[in-house]
Each structure stands twice: as C-alpha cells, then as structure tokens.
A = this chain, B = another copy of it.
Amino acid sequence: MSAQTDYKFAGWAGDAPDSIEGKLKWIEYEPKKFAEDDIDIKIQYCGICASDISTLSEGWGPMKDAYPQIVGHEIVGEVVRVGKDTKNGIKMGDIVGVGAQCDSCLKCHYCNKDQENYCSGGMVGTYNGKFSRTSEGSKSWGGYADYWRGPSHFAIPIPEGMDPAEAAPYLCGGGTMYTPLVQHGAGKTAKNIGIIGLGGLGHFGVLLAKSLGCEVTVISHSARKKEDAEKLGASHFLITGDDEAKAFKGHERSLDLIICSSNAPDMNMTAYLSLLRPGGNFILTGVPETGKISDISPFSLIMGNVHIGGSLIASPATLKEMLALVAEKKVHPWIKKWPMDKVNEAVPDMVAGNARYRHVLVNVKNGGKL
C-alpha cells in the first residue's frame, strides 16, 4: 500500500517573532514517523489564517523552543502516500484538505461523537503541536510547505467539482464559523444572525449564515466594509463607531445569534447583549491576543436570558458537512492567490490588514493553479 517516499519535507519557517515581517525561511524538516493510518499530501494550496500570525509573532505567548515553526492549517493537496489503515476511503491521487487540527486520542467520548475538536486528551494542532497517539513527541508541521504528513482521520476529501483553492480557507476559517452557526440552530431556530467584524472569519460567517437561510447583520466599527458586506449577502450593516450603546438603540432584541470574530478586547458587552433575543447566544470564535471580557453584568444576562460562549474550530464531520453544503450551493469565498514563493509578501500583506478576505498560497510546482 505505502508508496516509496521520494520527496523531501520542506517549507517556509519562522524562527522569531519578526518572521511575519517577510522573514520566513525555507527549511527542510523531519516529519513524524509514518504511521499506518497516516497519509502524505503533496500541498497545492494553503490559506493564511490569523492564527498563523499570532503564533509566529508570539501574540498568543512565548514560543520558546517551538521555533522554527512552519505554520498554515488550511491545506489542500494530492494524496501521495497512504498506509494500510488509512481512513475516510482516501486513495492515492485524491484531493483532500486538512484544517487546524491534525490529531486527537480518537478514543474518548468526544472523539467518538464527532467532537474531536474538544477531545478530552486535548487536540493536536496542525502546527505548533506534538503528536502523541503515534510518533510520540514528534512536532506537527503546517502547510506553508511542499508536503504534509499526518493522520488520515483529519483529512477531508474535497467535493467533486469544488475549486480546491477555494476549499482551503474553509478548512479553518470556514469551519470556525460554521460550527457555532449549526450548534446554535442557524436557519432553524436562529434566523437573524449578527457577525461582528468583517475579516477572514467574518466574511465566512456572512457567506455561511446566508447559505443556511439566515438574514445576516454585519456589525463593524466603520462603514468601510459596508459594500463588501452587502455583496457577501448581509442584509443589514450596523456601525458601532466608538459608542456601541448609542449605535444599537432601536436594534434591541433583533438577533438570535451573534458570532464575534473580532479580537477586540474592550467591547461594551452590555450593549452587544442587548441585540440578542431571549435565549440568544453571543459566541466568540477569534482568540484575542490580549484582554479579558470584563464587567459583564449578571443583571443583563438574567433579564435578557442571553448567553456568552465560545467555539473552537470544526470537527472532521462538521468540515465534511460544510464542504458538501458550499459545494452544492456554490458558495465562493473571496480569496486572493499568491505563489507560495511570495509568502514573504503575502504574510506582511495579511498583517497589514489588506486581505479581502483570505490570502491563499499556491504551490505551483506541486500542481496548484494561480
């Protein structure tokens, strides 16, 4: 079953916080030892996610001995090696994707009910993680690279007819928004959805909520992205300015679910919660680099019957469900393709906030199409 490995594992690595300033370096590395349920993927596309930046720049905390780090967890490519226990019916030559998680214990209650993202043993991130189930202690390496190796359980076949470049950013950004949408009944019990922040995640939030049959309100600091929001499918656009309480007057109890993809730490939570109908949820998906949610008034939670929660990426089953939906409904994310060789231009452009709304690296020599 296993193919001969006649390729090298190499990619664009950061070795210091300033690597996001265009200083990623091409390195070779030693992947995990191939286990019989692993696959190797010849990487053709990899989206650039805000997590990549926060990790490399130490925005989420010191990296210590975790450098060098090859980030990227919106990976799509061709299967070039399978093992005898490869899962998901994956065969040589299939086009598959890998998101932000690449392993878990696969035994616990959560893994057994399609919630590997909340595995009791902890999830293994697609980069900056350590494998333990197989090849214990091996580092996980992301997708700004030529090849990827890891458990086939976390590889999702890309639906027939779907543009693989567009599939890539769905695997983290899309799934991160789709998961809380379906968990909280989007299109069923929750018809009016608010999306805070129109960045990479937010743009997926609008597209996905809309494709689930919801009416979408984008909540943004300024009017700058209003036209984009409308083109993406939003029906309403709320501008907060610097006074959310004032901005939300007259919009109380207009939303069933708010998904906050923004990293802003100092939100006026009482004002945001006022937008929710009783039973409503305010769900955080973007992990801020700093800050806590402060001074939530128990009174507003109680009187409003509202909830603040969080949601972490997507499980393989949820990713499959989402890809089937967007393939069927032809929901196209807004992406800009960059040759992977230009990663040291693409990453700084993402850091500068220029992505409208996802940069995707294309590994041309591996068959990726610009």
**Chain A residues within CB distance 8 Å of chain B:** 110, 115, 118, 120, 183, 253, 278-279, 281, 284-285, 287-288, 291-312
Contact = CB atoms under 8 A, between A and B. Distances in A.
A287 B310 contact: no
Contacts of A310: 298, 300-306
A298 B287 contact: yes
B298 A295 contact: no
A104 to B, nearest CB: 13
B183 A279 contact: yes
Contacts of A304: 118, 310
B307 A308 contact: yes
9 contacts: A110-B278, A288-B298, A292-B298, A294-B295, A298-B310, A303-B310, A307-B309, A308-B308, A308-B309
A288 B301 CA distance: 12
Contact of A309 (B118, B297, B299, B301): B301
A314 B271 CA distance: 25
B312 A284 contact: no
Contacts of A297: 292-293
Contact of A291 (B288, B291, B298, B301): B298
A110 B304 CA distance: 12
Contact of A305 (B300, B301, B309): B309
Nearest to A306: B309
A114 to B, nearest CB: 12
A101 to B, nearest CB: 12
Contacts of A295: 292-294
B307 A285 contact: no
A299 B309 CA distance: 10
A293 B301 CA distance: 10
A86 B8 CA distance: 82
Contacts of A292: 294-298
Given A287-B298, A311-B302, A118 B293 contact: no
Given A293-B297, A301-B309, 10 more contacts: A118-B304, A120-B253, A292-B295, A292-B296, A292-B298, A294-B295, A294-B296, A301-B310, A305-B309, A305-B311
